[in-house]
Amino acid sequence: MKLALSFALISGVAAFAPSAQIARSTTTLGQHNLGAGGMADTRDPSTYVDADPRKSISAAPSFEEYLKQRAAATGGATAAPAAAAPAAAPVAAAAPAAAASTSGGATILGTLETLQGPGQVWGADGTLCIAVGKEESDLKGYENFGKFYAALQSTGVANEISGPGPFTVFAPTDPALESYELLRGPITADVLKLHIVKGNIASSAVSSADLTSLGGVPLKYRYAVRKNFVNDAIIGEKTFGPYADYPIDVQCGNGVIHAVGLCFAM
């Protein structure tokens, strides 16, 4: 009886004793925090170079970029039976036209009128591609800039960028403007001016450039998942398959064009 009473008293005292604190490491590796298990937090996509190569974090390509690199290494297509090669050749020949980085001295407006946008595959439409006899990797079409060009003309904004500039134009594709019209309403001059910035800004310089739009509204830049975003639109977006990506750094006589897949006013 006495033994049981003593055990009960000891247990009661232990319940009110301060609990031992588990020490957690706050050691850092460059800018990467180390947890209790000694592993670095690698959610930050920034690269890190350490004197010890084993501790370095290198920049890995995105899945889209990996597919492009693999296609380039294999001559533009993955391994396939020799009999299938002739059918794929005409498709691959269309990609260089969309990837052109110069406009032959034409103005921004002249370039937009004929610029070929990204090539999209049928895969995103699921079973629809089967119904029309297409493979998921077959080319569905190119997203061009006819609506943007027409809107610049009808609103009079074209007159404001017809001079020597230079101007940087973040040109939304036709589907991007169609989505805006469906969800938000008509495309006005103010909406179009959000896509135009004074100066000739390369895609590699958007992170540090003055991104005040032609209408005086500052655009928002952010870097995430190894990509540059302006007003939530990816600059230099990749497409799946061997077709052209969103064209960027298209040099014109009075500026530069970068294609985007989202209207900046969304």
Q: Cα–Cα distances in Å, from 117 out to 169, 194, 200, 240?
A: 14, 20, 20, 14
Q: What is the pLDDT of residues 38-49, one digit of tens each?
A: 555 555 456 666
Half-sphere exposure of 163 (CA within 13 A, CB side): 7
- Mean pLDDT check: name the lowest of 46-60, 175-189, 245-259: 46-60
pLDDT attached to residue 266:
85
On the question of pLDDT at 67 being above 70, the answer is no
Distance between first and last Cα of the chain: 77
pLDDT attached to residue 128:
56
**Which residues are within 8 A (CB) of 43 and not within 5 positions of it... i.e. 6 or more apart?**
none
Q: What is the pLDDT of residues 145-196, one digit of tens each?
A: 999 999 999 999 999 998 888 999 999 988 899 899 999 999 999 999 999 9
Q: Are 187 and 177 in contact (CB under 8 A)?
A: yes
Residue 242 Cα to chain centre, angstroms: 17
Q: What is the pLDDT of residues 183-205, one digit of tens each?
A: 999 999 999 999 999 999 999 99
Q: Domains in the chain, start-ordered, CATH in brackets?
A: 29-59 (no CATH), 63-73+97-260 (2.30.180.10)
| Residue 98 pLDDT grade (very low, low, confident, very high; cuts 50, 70, 90) | very low
| Residue 31 pLDDT grade (very low, low, confident, very high; cuts 50, 70, 90) | low
Q: What is the pLDDT of residues 215-229, one digit of tens each?
A: 999 999 999 888 899
